[in-house]
Amino acid sequence: MSATVEFAKMNGLGNKILVVDMRGRADKVTPAAAIALNAHPDTAFDQIMAIHDPRAQGTDAWIDILNSDGSKAQACGNGTRCVVQALAAETGNKVFTFQTVAGILNAVEHDDGTISVDMGKPVFDWDKIPLAEEFHDTSRIELQIGPIDSPVLHSPSTVSMGNPHAVFWVDRDVMSFDLARFGPLLENHPMFPERANITLAQITSPASITTRTWERSAGLTLACGSAACATAVCAARTGRTGRKVAIHVASAKPPGILSIEWRDRDDHVIMTGPAEWEWSGTLDPSTGSWARDQAQGAEAR
């Protein structure tokens, strides 16, 4: 077995993704390798999407997802779009079915290059999100940051999109909040036994929302697909919008848009947006040492 595998540096609305080809191998990308890769500015990432041979009949691949701290992630919508783009370019196929720890994901690449991912059904039960306390209605839970009589953030909507999310509704520019300060406190709040992704959301019209997210185990990221899905679902559930919205990701560079539809007929959440290839190379999945493809330069670490 070769010590190295091929990988691509990609992004989904700026969400930094490493797509690693682990097909035909029995090993995995190790947490130590993930941490080493994230330590270098050229390979720093929000998620690693490691493509493994399929485990279930009827699927195209098993996707193992790692956060930048080496921990496992359950879902990554922006990363899934990057996997689709990479495999579509390789195979010519447009339709894919992936298996992850969060379940089965179906995806399709459209003629205009955008990619739709079926993120499945949202989960609202307090013990399945999960929350540490029982709430009959998880569309608004008791949680706040700041003074009791004038909280900075309060009463988030909570949901699982394969991973736990808390969405705080705000009435001003989401970039005006010190999310770098509040994010770690809320991610690790005792209310969230498995920690949570924290999103600030401003309703800008009945069909559009602006968001910014502190991502669990990754921190401030330029975009988070599952958070966009969580926000759209929670907005519709609380009557703030309809079931199809444009999510304007304020922190994306440049700011970008994800189209989210919470389908009536089956309650599945469909996310549509772009993916972008940046460069490719090889890496050691055990140590994280890497080299850029020679055609793109000889830099190696």
Q: What positions carry a catalytic annotation?
A: 76, 224
Q: How distant is the alpha carbon of residue 207 from its chain centre?
A: 22
Strands 197-205 and 290-292 turn out to be unpaired
* Residues with Cβ within 8 Å of residue 268, at least 6 apart in sequence: 118, 119, 120, 121, 262
Q: How many helices (H) and strands (E) does the chain have?
A: 4, 20
Q: Which of 117, 198, 204 is nearest to 159 (CA)?
A: 198
Q: Which two tokens stand for residue 122?
A: 């949202």
Q: Which two tokens stand for residue 141?
A: 């839970």
Distance of alpha carbon 29 from alpha carbon 71, whole angstroms: 11
Distance of alpha carbon 1 from alpha carbon 74, whole angstroms: 28
Q: Which two tokens stand for residue 246?
A: 């444009």
Long-range Cβ contacts of 187-191 (<8 Å, 24+ apart): 187/214, 187/216, 189/143, 190/132, 191/131, 191/132, 191/133, 191/141, 191/143
